[in-house]
């Protein structure tokens, strides 16, 4: 499958600002909301009424996102929010109830009901001229800053077991905002009366790429799989380096494209930062089995890494926690990038059923896909510094220093991971606080993952803050609870 040529080649006037981690993203979001003069349009997976934006270190109070929107509505700004309203996930109902309890009638909330498919796109559009693609749902458990503390009271245990969270949001201005605004208008209309269902011509010459379920939006009567096409085409152009930072990697077409690219280009290197314990436990097995079957799990030019954070206690012991990777980033040769809300899984790209190994799962969930939106950026359109700037921001946080992409970068990542393992094993070494990359492990539980790296058998005592038992690793009861509340 190939993406329409306009997704890759069309010249676009787009100003992009990368917002790494949600402290930065929420600060930018509040500036947008507080500066709004006419309209604020939002699509979200979830929006908890008690969600707060913290500025970072030392801010224990934060700002209520909902109160910020209510203040905008009070000064005459039109505020519209679209959330999920299906049997699988109904977040519109709880937000409506909170607004009703507060006596707030000026904020409009609509729900998208497309069971079992979800509205997964996370957009905020202000005054039809500025926009953000937000990385996380507006839920307190997803807040974090770049320090990724092992434990933080501002980060409840509920969603991710209290794990630190790494994410990426994008602030944009320029022509792409028109595309996002048109997409929002169709989503808003699809959740209202039939009179609101009008095709708005959002197919023309876009940087925006969409995944859309069948029979959902008028401009996409047969749905859309544009993000998958763009990703496959982007991977196909790789010559030296592919960098992946994603919540999941279970999409068969993406893994196949990566394997083919490595075979085609003998000097190509791939660096991937993934979760060892995704929030949906089936993905751990799918990801492991697919990477193993494709030969990528131990390919010499494929580096698989994960993120951890550590802090030294007064007694010299080491408190550790996994950092949950929620970002969705794929960069090719520092010249091309695809970022947004779509995961590298079937439900974000083309068909949830394609992730299953069993014929029953493949048949039941064939064609099921969420509504997602990504930006497809090419250096020929956005300039030579935008995409390297993204990659450099991410690598600086993960590695502690900048690292040049291209040939040799994989060796630098592996060397950094080896130094991190040695530091964590040796109690005689003063332990620096912060995030560090470690090699990816296919073991099921965090304690086994660290044991595989020799960390828990070193001289330093390890206090592991996230170590789910058998039931959580294999059945994910917390995720099931969250989805149905």
Note the pLDDT tens digit of each residue in 415-444.
Answer: 999 999 999 999 888 888 888 999 999 999
Cα–Cα distance, 197 to 67 (Å, whole number)? 31
Cβ contact 213:114 at 8 Å = yes
Q: Which of 300-304, 417-421, 479-483 has the lowest mean pLDDT?
A: 479-483
At residue 2, the pLDDT reads: 44
Per-residue burial over 380-399, b if 16 or more Cβ lie within 10 Å, else e, is: ebbeeebbbebbbbbbebbb
Q: Calculate mean pLDDT across residues 264-273.
A: 97
Split at pLDDT 50, 70, 90, the class of 9 is very low
Tens digit of pLDDT for each residue in 194-233?
A: 544 555 555 555 789 999 999 999 999 899 999 999 999 9
CB 374, CB 8: distance < 8 Å: no
- pLDDT, residue 196, reads 47
Q: How confident is the model at residue 381 (pLDDT cuts 50, 70, 90)?
A: confident
pLDDT of residue 5 exceeding 70, the answer is no
Reported as a pLDDT band with limits 50, 70 and 90, residue 151 is very high
Rounded to the nearest 5°, which phi and psi values hold at 27? -60, -45
Task: Show Cβ contacts of residue 308 under 8 Å, excluding neighbours closer than 6 positions.
Answer: 320, 321, 322, 323, 435, 436, 437, 438
Average pLDDT over residues 121-140: 96
CB 49 within 8 A of CB 142: no
pLDDT for the residue numbered 202: 56
Nearest to residue 77, comparing CAs of 20, 35, 129? 35
- Do 225-484 and 12-224 fall under one CATH topology? yes
Report d(CA 301, CA 291) in Å as an integer.
Answer: 13
Average pLDDT of 36-59?
93
d(Cα 228, Cα 110) in Å, to the nearest integer? Answer: 28
- Interatomic CA distance for residues 76 and 131, integer angstroms: 19
**3-class secondary-structure state, position 302:** strand
**CATH architecture of the domain with residue range 225-484:** 2-Layer Sandwich (3.30)
Q: What is the mean pLDDT of the chain?
A: 90
pLDDT band at 371 (very low <50, low <70, confident <90, very high): very high
CATH number of this structure's domain 12-224:
3.30.870.10
Name the residue ranges covered by the structural domains of the chain: 12-224, 225-484
pLDDT of amino acid 316: 77
Give the separation between CA 241 and CA 378, rounded to whole angstroms.
15
pLDDT at 145 exceeding the cut of 90: yes
DSSP state of 101: H
Q: Look at residue 3 in the predicted model and tell me its pLDDT.
A: 45
Tell me the C-alpha distance between 16 and 390, whole Å.
Answer: 10
* pTM to 2 decimal places: 0.93
Angle at 362 between CA 358 and CA 368, to 5 degrees: 150
Cα-based distances in Å from 297 to 253, 276, 302, 449: 16, 13, 8, 15
CA 321/CA 166 separation, integer angstroms:
13
Which range is most confident: 36-40, 60-64, 112-116, 433-437?
A: 36-40
pLDDT at 472: 81
- Rounded CA gap, 189 and 331, in Å? 34
Per-residue pLDDT averaged across 402-413, rounded?
81
Q: 240-259 pLDDT, tens per residue? A: 999 999 999 999 999 999 99
Peptide bond into 461 cis (omega under 30): no
Predicted confidence (pLDDT) per residue in 285-300, tens digit: 999 999 999 999 999 9
Burial of 38 (0-12, 13-18, 19+ CB in 10 A): exposed
Average of pLDDT values for 135-159? 92
Distance CA(22)–CA(443), nearest Å, equals 29
The mean pLDDT value for 163-167 works out to: 97
Percent of the chain with pLDDT over 90: 77
Q: Are 396 and 389 in contact (CB under 8 A)?
A: no
Confidence (pLDDT) at 198:
56
Q: How confident is the model at residue 310, as a pLDDT?
A: 94
Measured torsion, CA atoms of residues 35, 41, 45, 51, in degrees rounded to the nearest 10: 30
Q: For the stretch 235-260, what's the b/e string if a residue is b when 16 or more beta carbons lie within 10 angstroms of its beta carbon?
A: beebebbbbbbbbbbbbbbbbebbbe
The SS3 of residue 28 is helix
Lowest mean pLDDT among 14-18, 132-136, 347-351: 14-18
Higher pLDDT, 237 or 56: 237
Asked if the model's pLDDT at residue 340 lies above 90, the reply is: yes
Separation between Cα atoms, residue 478 and residue 463, nearest integer Å: 22
């Amino acid at each position: 499958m190939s993406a329409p040529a306009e997704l890759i080649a069309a010249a676009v006037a787009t100003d992009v600002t990368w917002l790494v981690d949600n402290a930065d993203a929420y600060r930018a979001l509040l500036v947008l909301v507080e500066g709004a003069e006419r309209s604020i349009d939002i699509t979200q997976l979830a929006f908890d009424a008690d969600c707060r934006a913290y500025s970072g270190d030392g801010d224990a109070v934060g700002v209520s996102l909902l109160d910020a929107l209510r203040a905008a509505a009070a000064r005459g700004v039109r505020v519209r929010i679209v959330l999920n309203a299906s049997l699988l996930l109904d977040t519109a109902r709880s937000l409506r109830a909170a607004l009703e309890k507060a006596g707030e009638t000026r904020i409009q909330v609509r729900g998208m009901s497309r069971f079992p498919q979800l509205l997964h796109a996370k957009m905020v559009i202000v005054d039809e001229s500025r926009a953000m693609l937000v990385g996380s749902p507006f839920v307190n458990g997803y807040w974090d800053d770049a320090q990724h503390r092992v434990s933080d009271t501002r980060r409840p245990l509920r969603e991710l077991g209290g794990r630190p969270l790494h994410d990426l949001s994008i602030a944009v201005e320029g022509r792409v905002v028109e595309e996002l605004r048109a997409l929002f208008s169709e989503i808003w209309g699809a959740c209202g009366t039939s009179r609101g269902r009008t095709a708005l011509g959002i197919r023309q010459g876009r940087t925006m790429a969409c995944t859309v379920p069948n029979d959902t939006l008028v401009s996409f009567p047969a749905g859309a799989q544009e993000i998958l096409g763009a990703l496959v085409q982007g991977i196909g152009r790789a010559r030296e380096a592919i960098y992946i930072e994603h919540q999941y990697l279970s999409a068969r077409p993406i893994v196949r494209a990566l394997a083919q690219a490595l075979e085609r280009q003998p000097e190509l290197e791939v660096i991937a930062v993934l979760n060892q314990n995704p929030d949906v436990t089936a993905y751990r097995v799918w990801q492991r089995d697919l990477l193993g079957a494709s030969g990528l799990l131990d390919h010499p030019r494929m580096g698989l890494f994960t993120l951890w954070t550590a802090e030294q206690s007064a007694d010299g012991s080491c408190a550790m926690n996994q950092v949950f990777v929620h970002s969705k980033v794929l960069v090719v040769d520092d010249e091309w990038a695809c970022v947004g809300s779509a995961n590298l899984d079937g439900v974000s790209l083309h068909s949830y059923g394609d992730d299953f190994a069993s014929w029953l799962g493949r048949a039941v969930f064939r064609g099921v896909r969420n509504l997602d939106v990504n930006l497809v950026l090419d250096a020929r359109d956005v300039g030579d510094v935008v995409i390297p700037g993204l990659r450099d921001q991410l690598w600086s946080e993960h590695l502690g220093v900048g690292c040049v992409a291209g040939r040799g970068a994989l060796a630098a990542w592996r060397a950094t991971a080896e130094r991190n393992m040695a530091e964590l094993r040796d109690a005689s070494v003063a332990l620096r606080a912060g995030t560090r990359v470690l090699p990816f492990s296919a073991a099921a539980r965090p304690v086994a993952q660290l044991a595989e790296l020799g960390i828990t058998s070193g001289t330093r005592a390890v206090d592991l803050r996230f170590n789910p038992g058998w039931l959580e690793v294999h059945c994910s009861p917390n995720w099931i609870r969250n989805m149905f509340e």
